[in-house]
Copies of this chain bind each other. A is one copy, B any other.
Amino acid sequence: MSWFRNLSKLSSLKKLPNITSSRNTHPFPLTLLSPHHHHFTTTASSINHVGGGLEPTKPHEKPRVVVLGTGWAGCRLMKGLDPEIYDIVCVSPRNHMVFTPLLASTCVGTLEFRSVAEPVSRIQPAISREPGSYFFLANCIGVDTHNHVVQCETVTEGTQTLDPWKFTVSYDKLVIALGAQPTTFGIHGVHEHAIFLREVYHAQEIRRKLLLNLMLSDVPGISEEEKQRLLHCVVVGGGPTGVEFSGELSDFIMRDVRQRYSHVKDYIHVTLIEANEILSSFDDRLRRYATKQLTKSGVRLVRGIVKDVGDEKIILNDGTEVPYGLLVWSTGVGPSPLIRSLDLPKSPGGRIGIDEWLRVPSIEDVFAIGDCSGYVESTGKPILPALAQVAERQGKYLANLLNKIGKANGGRANSVSDIDIGDPFVYKHLGSMATIGSYKALVDLRHSKEEKGLSLAGFISWFIWRSAYLTRVISWRNRFYVAINWATTLVFGRDISRI
């Protein structure tokens, strides 16, 4: 007997009209659960899911593009794909894209976390609307290019909900956009003790730890040394992320900590450690300006190489010990173990090899874009930098290319051979931007490091920085929220509740 019919009998609401749920196509009590309620009596039944999956597409269905990853590359691609031509299936452990250039601002409360996250289904609504399009919360664990199949495993956060299970997805076209992972140069302790700044949960962790340290350092019984250590924020890596985070942190200290944590305001300090020069991709003049501004707002710039990371201190190459309370690691990215393990052509440096049309050479129907991909040596082209700009441009190009192929009836697996695929992808660098705190930013509009060109620094750059990112935030909803967040921070200061 169905447990649900039992429930119905228990209900005290006999006087009411029968339940006629407006959103059910079938009558509610009969369809809610199957009568075999013994399926629920053990958890064992939920463990052994292996082998389920999406079969190859049938002739009457649309061809299927499978996209691995929801970063800049994958999301821009999905946005541009024509859902009239393709069914889109996205596999990623994250159901949203992170607007990474603004992530540093969320750590100190200048922006809300949600303002920098864009759900995939808002980027490409067909994914939730079309019967053959899906988003799967899962990790890709392997690719079988011979059979046009991707192996996946669900992300379930332990047994509280369900144990993870494996499934497969057949593709007509596969786009690998899995990104890269932070580099640690094999330094011991980085993974255990440092926080990266790539995902929203990293920003949340930084924020919680920063606020915890601020509050703990105010509690009676803490020694002076520990107070100093707790409030010493160390950033390793002087690229745009490290510099922007240091700048935001110093803004937070200048404006908010001084007011709201007045007991400890003289103890909090920021140190930025870089092995070479900060912002090495920027113009010399901008770099000097940034150095001066950061120093002026209290960020300590240190040239050094980290040898070891402990839970309360890092050790530099010359033996110097640097106690810290918060350690943020942003020394660039490299290929992930999965990317390394895939049996595909590779570029110098271990990324997935691609030709100038972003195809993986000699493998039918497989493409790779973004930080996980690099030109194979035979193209004679240099590997493009791991920038949002590159990833986004590649996603856009490939969406157009796939739409073109699909229109020419080349959307099915193994059907593309005689189609004109047009011009190759050409990357043109539009320039670099970085904010350095105190309403100041750098804008470098040179097309490459060697060329001459316009470069700006200061308040106007900061204004350009904000405007540029505001217009590039993907949805109107988040554009609106980012603007509101900025205005609120200006008027009311940053939020410091630790939730």
Within 8 A of B (CB), among A449-499: 475-477, 480-481, 484, 488, 491-492, 495-499
Is A320 interfacial (CB 8 A cutoff)? yes
Inter-chain CA distance A209–B165, complex, in Å, is 17
Contact of A320 among B7, B54, B112, B223 (CB under 8 A): B7
B-side contacts of A3, CB under 8 Å: 320-323
State whether A134 touches B218 (Cβ < 8 A): yes
- Assuming the contacts A221-B49, A477-B488, A497-B117, asked whether A22 and B298 have C-beta atoms less than 8 A apart, the reply is yes
A-B contact pairs, 24 of them (CB 8 A): A6-B316, A6-B320, A10-B318, A23-B265, A24-B298, A32-B232, A34-B225, A36-B225, A37-B323, A39-B223, A40-B225, A52-B222, A114-B495, A119-B260, A121-B260, A128-B259, A128-B260, A138-B219, A156-B216, A161-B209, A168-B220, A204-B499, A477-B488, A480-B488
Q: Does A12 contact B (CB under 8 A)?
A: yes
A-B pairs, 6 with minimum CB distance:
A52-B221, A96-B497, A12-B303, A49-B221, A137-B215, A6-B320
Are B13 and A211 in contact (CB-based, < 8 A)? Answer: no
- Cβ-defined contact, A95 with B496, below 8 A: yes
A304 & B215 in contact (Cβ 8 Å cutoff): no
Contact A221 B498 (CB under 8 A): no
Known: A7-B304, A40-B323. 13 other contacts (CB 8 A): A7-B271, A7-B300, A11-B302, A13-B301, A24-B298, A32-B228, A40-B312, A45-B223, A95-B497, A128-B259, A200-B499, A475-B492, A480-B488
Q: Which residues of A contact B (CB under 8 A)?
A: 3, 6-7, 10-13, 16-17, 19-26, 28, 31-34, 36-37, 39-41, 43, 45-46, 49-54, 94-96, 112-114, 117-119, 121, 128-129, 131, 134-138, 154, 156-157, 159-162, 165-169, 200-201, 204, 208-209, 211-213, 215-216, 218-226, 228-230, 232, 253-254, 258-263, 265-266, 269, 271, 277, 291-292, 295-298, 300-304, 311-313, 316, 318, 320-323, 325, 475-477, 480-481, 484, 488, 491-492, 495-499
